[in-house]
Amino acid sequence: MSSDVVPRFVNQPPDIRPPRARVRARKIAAHATLLAHGEPMVWLTGGSLVVALMMVAGLVGLVVSQGVATFWPTPLVQLRTLDGSVILGEDTRQETYKPSQRVFADLLEQIKPQVRAALDADQPLDRAGSVLGVLEPDVVKLALQQRGESDKASDTLVNSLAEKILAHAKRKLAADGSAVRRSYRTGNFEINQTHFRWVNDFAVLEHQQPPWALLLERMEQGRFYGFPSAFVVDDAVVATEPADVWNKFQEFHAASRQRLAKKVDLATDEVGAINRRAEALRLMANKVKLDYGADSPQYQLASQRQATGEQADAADNARIEAEIAELNRENNRYQMRFKTAEGQESTQVVADIVRAVPANQLTLAGKWGVYFSRWHEFLFDVPRNANSEGGVFPAIWGTVVMTLVMTLLVVPFGVLAALYLREYAKPGLLTSAVRISINNLAGVPSIVFGVFGLGFFCYVLGAGVDRTFFPASYAANQPVFSTGGLMWASFTLALLTLPVVIVATEEALTAVPNSMREGSYACGASKWQTIQRIVLPRALPGIMTGTILAMARGAGEVAPLMLVGVVKIAPDLPIDRVFPFVHPQRSFMHLGFHIYDVGFQSQNAEASKPLVYTTTLLLILIVATLNIAAIWLRGRLRRKFVSVQF
Amino acid sequence: MTDETPSTDPQRRRFTGLTRRKTSSKVRVIDRVARWVIAVGGIGTIVAVLLVCVFLVSVAIPLFRSARTDSERTIAAGKSDSPPLQMGVDEFRLLGWTLSVDGQLQGFKLHDGQPLGEPQAIRSEDNDQAAAMTCCAVAIDFKCKKSFEDLPNGTAKVCMFGFADGSVRLGAIGYKTTFLDDSAVDPAIRALKVADEALEFQGGMVQRTPTGQLRLQQLVKMLDPRTPPVSDSPIEQIDFSLRVEGENAQPIFVARSANGNITLNAVKKRLNLITDESTITVNSSSVPLPTGVSGKPLRTLISGDGDNLFLLWKDGTLVRYEMAESEPPQQVERISLLPRGVELSAATMVLGKRTIMVGDSAGGMSTWCRVNEMDSTRTHLEKTHEIHGLNSPITALCCSPQSRAMAVGDAAGNVQVVYDTSERVLSRVAAQGGSAIRTLLISPKEDELLADNQAGITRWDLDIAHPEVSLRTLVRPVWYESAPQSSHVWQTTGSTDDFEPKFGLWPLIFGTLKATFYSLLFGVPLALMAAVFTSEFLHPSVRARVKPMVETMASLPSVVLGFLAGIVIAPVMETIVPASIAAIVTVPLAFMLGAYLWQLLPIHLAIQYRRFRFACMLLLLPLGLLLAKYLGPSIEQRMFGGDLRLWLSRPEIGSGTPGWAIILLPLSAAVTFLLISLIVHPLLRNVSRGWTRTQAALVDLLKFVSGICITLVLALILGWMLTIIGFDPRGSHAGSSWALVGTYVQRNALIVGFMMGFAIIPIIYTLADDALNTVPSHLRSASLAAGATPWQTLVRIVIPTAMSGLFSAVMIGLGRAVGETMIVLMAAGSTPIMDMNIFNGFRTLSASIAIEMPEAARGTTHYRILFLAALVLFAMTFVVNTAAEVIRQRFRRRAYEL
């Protein structure tokens, strides 16, 4: 034990044996001493800390491990099971359970047709013998001899063999009768109507990793697992060997994807522009009608203009439609044929394949390549397949921009309020009451602010804005600002985080020693000069801490946003290439809401769970980075103040 | 110093002889501007934040406003010689119609009562010689059924007419809406502007809509061909309902004819596809009249599904018949609705036609509804609500086509608008003339009230506000239609048109409190004890690293916690319920066991290895968890019949003893601790003189182990005793709402409590740690110097000093738990039930707001109720936080004084 420890950390009785003095030593009961130390209670308090720490560590560990591992390509496994099915997929998770007797009864019924088929196929005895490849040929031979060759597939024989096979499988169970089952992601939703399949370990006959098993990540319908059987150009097969097909795929894939991207651009940008033009003309005509009446010459003119505009748009539209059709036609020329593990044929258009991964052939470098390309897609692409796949770029974008706009709003007002409270307002009962209220507002549930945002910003302010600036849309009951959007969401969160900034700024202002203010006044500076040149620079780190804490709080809040403008899928970002470039009325996507939506409301929660983990990881990283920055700044700030105290 | 301070007085010369420079005007202006900007901005910001509360109140308050009836005007449409039997108003409030007792349908302008067009007679066939109309029944809701789809917009009133020749016709009276071309009408009409008063045109009313079109509303009637006569004398009373069978609505009606016979008739309409003619057949059966009642029944009513028939007599007798498919009606119930001496004067059915509302000669109103009997499929009529307010006999009743609001008129010409479920009297007006009200009408949008008496028709603008809500319905149990008893219900959306939203806030408040309670139960001890250890026993260098780690927990967005709780932990927890419950006991035990073993170490080793003490604690957590993993399932096997979840859901499996034992463990542990400290410790203190430390520690260990055994035995005995008395923790019968434990639901309070711990532990921890640190260290030093151990110092000096700080930390944690949204939204199952069961879900105020707010249309009752919920949440947290803040400030002052 080091000697510099503060006395209160000494948790040990001083040696009570008195020095050889004449004082009579009080005899201490050993048990009472033990009790006085309260060791068990101390350990209980320590245990609480341990539990709390482990809770954090476990949670962060879970998210990080799951989030980081999501995009790593795992091998594709092909299984043949006792019930005769063949499964190709990725092993996603496993669990131990106690199978009920019904599981075995069902399995037995499923084995019987297999056995019958194996026996009926007129094969040499020894080959047919290892029915399903489980039993020793001798066992089968013996059984067959007992029954006689004639009734090869008699019911009793089939039953006895099936039971033997089942017994063989049961031997794989653990001593207490528990079994391991794994969930395989088998994809091919359009064929199987499911994304996952549970397979009992004891029912697996054969377990292999076929080299040419391919994993396709598609634009729609989720993943596809299968073996390439042919590459088709213009309905003509150009390659049949897997390696050739793969080469052909790589040859044409990039170009197809580019055409697809071009098509999407055309569809969103140009068609979007035409629609917007038509909408603007229509609104204009409506406005004229409202202002001057339906009989007025102004309205005639406006409706004429609308008609000519519509004609021009129709021509434009036809041109773009033709272009899109041409791209579609070109893309549909290149197709790949696949055979699934179950033996079904399936044709995939090359352009619809986002990524094809020959997972079992990947080298380490190849795996890293796939890993990073998936991360790249995740970070910089738009979601596809009802948010369950693809990227979260719009959500990242929405989170960041919303937080920034919120910060721009909250900091000036928060600082103003704090300056007023600390520097200008006369201290008294009122200011302390206000201060208590502000402190309390930091604890008011965020959803309450959401309700306020919806009711006040959207329905009162927004409706006012619409009535004043967009009367045509307002009359046609098309909300512009009177519904949730980026701007109102930022306003709401600014209100929510305002107390954080006010409190932090006030603390920072309090921490500026009065002697410095007095010094400044003594030099003849005015109050504002003092605040501007002396107080604010000193308080800046504190204000920044408050700002960052507010940003962290704002970035992590979801509940109020659900009421004021966050949506599942936002087709357009609030900033784009369309005049006036900034559209603060648009609704937006948010990482936190993405987690809620995909994790909780998606149809296919199991398949999108990994994606939710990565989104979670991303959100935690953003929030934690902001928090750590705040903590670091706080530390710096404290050091600085300790040094300037005089 | 004062002398050296530059004065702002420019006139004053300095002793240095230099003239003082004047403060430049620029600086002054800027200073003033800054002062103003900061004051205005600062005050504005603070006011803006405080505005939140004001706005919430301003939206929620109109909920309790009563209905408004104004712009009273008497219009002369009513003719005193042939009073109207029925009235109607279109949805734009332009034209109305009356159907007089002699079968004349007359449209009129609503604003002045001038007749529109010629009266149209309703007869059994479309010629003047056919039998005259004798009675008429109108469906309550205005939805035009399939058979009248020629009538546009579904705004027709479906009616059934009875005729003097004993036949009936199904028909509809409605409005045809046409949009006129501006060029095809007179200039006078073309000149109509938006919001101008409507003009008469082609026997209808024309108006310019806000979008600039000309809209013409015309009164039309449509009649099906008459049915074969169901009686040989005129029909005096009729009531019908439409049963939807596939594409078509098949009417079923009850008719009472002048000779006193009552028949129940099912109409079938078949369309011949080739000739396009429909043939109508009627399947009649006679209703057996009960014995012992005199005279003709006052009303004959048929329920909405056409499965019940009610006959009401003037003396208050009600006889109920049930109709099964193609069987004659069976009398199943006969009750008296009114006390002796009071006569029945009016009766009608409420929207949905499941509830009967009756008015009596004393001015009282009551509603009667069929309710299920406990533990049986039988139903009986029960009085669910009673409304007072009128003193004269009630002469007219009319149900709103949208809600359970009713208009009631009495013999003295008073009209009351009331609401059934909330028993509210919304408004009360008197019609012109003061004579008995004959007919009443509430318009389709509940914005117009019409009353007819001798003086003619009186109309009012009606603003019905939020009749279904009163302070009483929000927090007290309410008897809803068809429910067996009054109850707290939160149910805001339903599948049918006549669904009645149920706004009982109590289940949500209960859910909020439940979430808060369980999360505090888990979070508070953990956070406080962790703070105590961090502040008092941890080495500063370790502390500097540990504290930010716990604080990171605070920065986890709650949506992340919610996702992990609902999607990841809940499914796992479901499979390890016994182990996770066992862990609550074994983990603390493991730590205490560690402590007793640590005591066994010789003193010099204990001091030497003291810095590894925390590391040892870290190792004990897995030990506790392992212990739980093995103990949990085996306890489940021994005591809960092998399956805890089955045991929980079926009270008939096993006994309640083990459940009680687990619930009572904390109590029996406390009792054991008391026993040991009161009996064993004094004994040991005498005996242990002269023992070595190791010996004492061994005895202590023994005491601990035996203490555990005593606790277990005590808990089991207590549990056994409670079971013997007849209490079961799962409730005395299945589904009892006050059972402590019960059916395991995947998303439940246990999960929420655990996960919410993540949200509140860091807050409580940080604040508690700060509070403990504020205790001046000289107090600690003095205590230690006086020979107290650190533990004694903590318990007797530090904690009492920091008590109010710790308390305020807990309060602030409570505030956070009350308002937490995402965790409860994703992990609590969102079922608005009131149930103590820790393994069941619930719904909090915040979750309700998050789910329902986007769907609630602005200004509706639902919208305002959600604002009220937000206000309740706001108030709860504000009170808690203010209390915490006040306590904290006081504590701070006291700590400085020490």
Which residues of chain A from 596 to 615 reach within 8 Å of chain B, CB to CB?
Answer: 596, 599-600, 605, 609, 612
Taking CA atoms, what residue in A is nearest to B613? A43
Task: Scan residues 132-191 of A and list those with Cβ closer than 8 Å to B.
Answer: none
Note whether A404 contacts B: Cβ–Cβ < 8 A. Answer: no
Q: At what angle do helices B613-639 and B657-675 cross, to 10 degrees?
A: 140
Instruction: Report residue B247's pLDDT band, with 50, 70 and 90 as the boundaries.
Output: low
Question: With bands split at pLDDT 50, 70 and 90, how would you rate the model's confidence at A17?
Answer: low
Does A641 have pLDDT greater than 60?
no
**Inter-chain touch B874–A448, beta carbons under 8 Å:** yes
Can you say whether the dihedral through the CA atoms of A203, A206, A207, A212 is positive or negative?
negative
Give me the DSSP letters along A415-439.
HHHHHIIIIISPPSHHHHHHHHHHH
Give the pLDDT score at A127.
46
Instruction: Supply the pLDDT for residue A3.
Output: 42
Question: Which residues numbered 126-185 in B keep a CB inside 8 Å of some CB on A?
Answer: 182
Is the pLDDT at B111 greater than 70? The verdict is yes
Question: Of B262-266, B343-347, B738-742, which range is least confident?
Answer: B738-742
pTM: 0.87
Per-residue pLDDT at B4: 45
How far A78 CA lies from chain B's nearest CA (Å)?
Answer: 28
Q: Report the mean per-residue pLDDT for chain B.
A: 83
Pick A29 or B398 by higher pLDDT.
B398
For residue A646, what pLDDT band results from cuts at 50, 70 and 90? Answer: very low
Residue B537 contacts A where some CB pair is shorter than 8 Å: yes
Q: Would the pLDDT of B152 be above 60?
A: no
Range scoring the smallest mean pLDDT among A168-177, B349-358, B386-395, B843-852: A168-177
Answer whether A567's CB lies under 8 Å from A456's CB: no
Is B567 close to A527, i.e. CB distance below 8 A? no
Per-residue model confidence (pLDDT) at position A4: 44
Task: Read off the pLDDT band of B637 (50, 70, 90).
Answer: confident
- Mean pLDDT, range B600-612, rounded to an integer: 83
Mean pLDDT of A354-367: 88
Contact at CB, A63 and B595, closer than 8 angstroms? no
| pLDDT exceeds cutoff 90 at A160 | no
SS3 of residue B110 by DSSP: coil
- Mean of pLDDT over chain A: 81
Q: Which residue, among A28, A37, A42, would best test binding to B if mutated, counting the most B CBs under 10 Å from its CB?
A: A42
Share of chain B above pLDDT 90, in %: 9
Which of the four pLDDT bands, split at 50, 70 and 90, describes residue A400?
A: confident
Comparing CB atoms, the residue among B210, B595, B854 nearest residue A42 is: B595
Looking at per-residue pLDDT, the higher value among B497 and A316 belongs to: A316
Per-residue confidence (pLDDT) for residue B714, from 0 to 100: 92
Q: Which of A161-170, A420-429, B308-317, B877-886 has the lowest mean pLDDT?
A: A161-170
> Has residue A56 got a pLDDT over 60?
yes
Helix H or strand E encompassing A335: strand A334-339
pLDDT in tens, B506-533: 889 999 999 999 999 999 999 999 999 9
- Give the pLDDT mean for A176-184: 84
Q: List chain B residues with CB under 8 Å of A624.
A: 552, 555
Chain B residues inside the 8 Å CB shell of A25:
none
State how far the alpha carbon of A482 is from the alpha carbons of A116, A339, A401, A589, A629, in Å: 70, 53, 20, 18, 36
| Neighbour tally for A206: CB within 10 Å | 11
Nearest to B447 by CA among B862, B70, B95: B70
Residue A552 confidence (pLDDT) above 70: yes
pLDDT higher than threshold 50 for residue A497: yes
**Contact check, Cβ <8 Å, A413/B45:** yes
Rounded to 5°, angle at Cα B183 from B179 and B185: 70
Distance CA B633, CA B637 (A): 6
Q: Which of residues 821-860 of B touch A (CB under 8 A)?
A: 821-822, 825-826, 846, 849-850, 853-854, 858
Strand bridging mode B204-208 / B214-223? antiparallel
Decide if B559 and A418 are in contact by the 8 Å CB cutoff: no
Predicted ipTM of the assembly: 0.85
Q: Which of A136-145, A541-550, B470-479, B883-892 has the lowest mean pLDDT?
A: A136-145
Q: Which of B212, B533, B867 sits opposite A46 (nearest CB)?
A: B533
Total beta-carbon pairs less than 8 A apart between chain A and chain B: 400
What percent of chain B clears pLDDT 70, i.e. is strictly above it? 92
- Is A48 within 8 Å of B527 when comparing Cβ atoms? yes
What pLDDT is attached to residue B124? 82
**pLDDT of residue B390 exceeding 60:** yes
- Which one, of B464, B317, B451, B467, lies nearest residue B387 by Cα? B467
CB contact under 8 A, B761 and A447: no
Q: What are phi and psi of B19, to 5 degrees?
A: -75, 135
Output the DSSP codes for A293-314. -TTSHHHHHHHHHHHHHHHHHH
Q: What angle do CA A225, A229, A232 make, to 5 degrees?
A: 110
pLDDT at B16: 65
Tell me how close the Cα of B263 comes to any Cα of chain A, in angstroms. 52
State whether residue B536 sits within 8 Å of chain A by CB: yes
**A476–chain B Cβ distance below 8 A for any pair:** yes
Question: Would you say residue A6 has pLDDT above 70?
Answer: no
Contact present, A430 and B46 (Cβ < 8 Å)? no
| Nearest residue to B83 (alpha-carbon basis) of B102, B109, B97 | B102
What number is the average pLDDT over the span B170-180? 83
Quick one: tokens of B782? 């003095």
Mean pLDDT of B366-395: 84
What is the pairing mode between strands B414-419 and B424-430? antiparallel
Whether residue A137 has pLDDT greater than 80: no
What pLDDT does residue A470 have?
82
Note whether A203 contacts B: Cβ–Cβ < 8 A: no
Q: What is the pLDDT of residues A609-629, one digit of tens each?
A: 888 899 999 998 888 888 888
Question: CB A104: neighbour CB atoms within 10 A?
Answer: 18
Looking at the complex, report in whole angstroms how far the Cα of residue A143 sits from the nearest Cα belonging to chain B. Answer: 41
A 3-42 → B contacts, CB under 8 A: 5-13, 27, 29-42
Question: Which residues of chain A are within 8 Å of residue B534 when distances are taken between CB atoms?
Answer: 49
pLDDT digits (tens, 9 = 90+) for B665-675: 889 999 999 99
For range A191-206, the mean pLDDT: 83
* Residue A1 confidence (pLDDT): 38
**Where is mean pLDDT largest: A271-285, B24-38, B64-78?**
B24-38
B807: contact with A, CB 8 A cutoff = no
Kindly determine whether residue A558 and residue B558, on different chains, have CB atoms separated by under 8 Å: yes
Report pLDDT digits (tens) over B280-295.
Answer: 888 888 888 888 777 8
At residue A149, the pLDDT reads 58
> A54 contacts in B (CB within 8 Å)?
621
* Interface check B581 vs A, CB under 8 A: no
Residue among B784, B820, B870 whose CB faces A448 most closely: B870
Residue B815: closest C-alpha in chain A: A443
B102 and A CB contact within 8 Å: no
Average of per-residue pLDDT across A233-261? 87
| Band of pLDDT at residue A518, cut at 50, 70 and 90 | very high
If pLDDT is split at 50, 70 and 90, which confidence band does B869 have? very high
Helix crossing, B25-60 with A429-441: angle to 10°? Answer: 60
A55 contacts on B by Cβ (under 8 Å): 553, 757-758, 761
Contact residues on chain A for B885, CB-CB shorter than 8 A: 436, 439-440
Q: How far is CA B251 from the centre of its chain?
A: 36
Instruction: With a cut of 70, say whether residue B17 has pLDDT above it.
Output: no
Which residue from A minimizes the CA distance to B682? A32
Residue A153 pLDDT exceeds 90: no
**Which among B210, B239, B222 is positioned nearest to B171, based on CA atoms?**
B222
Closest chain B C-alpha to A225 CA, distance in angstroms = 26
B332 touches chain A (CB under 8 A): no
How confident is the model at residue B299, as a pLDDT? 86
Measure B82 CA to nearest chain A CA, in Å: 45
Q: What is the pLDDT of residue B523?
A: 92
The DSSP code sequence of A185-214 is: E---HHHHS-SEEEEEGGGEEEEE--TT-E
Interface of A with B in 102-141 (CB under 8 A): none
* Contact state of B539 with A5 under an 8 Å Cβ cutoff: yes
pLDDT digits (tens, 9 = 90+) for A286-305: 777 777 766 777 778 888 88
Question: CB neighbours (10 Å) of residue B36?
Answer: 10
Phi-psi region of B137 (alpha: psi -120 to 50; beta: other; left: phi over 0): beta
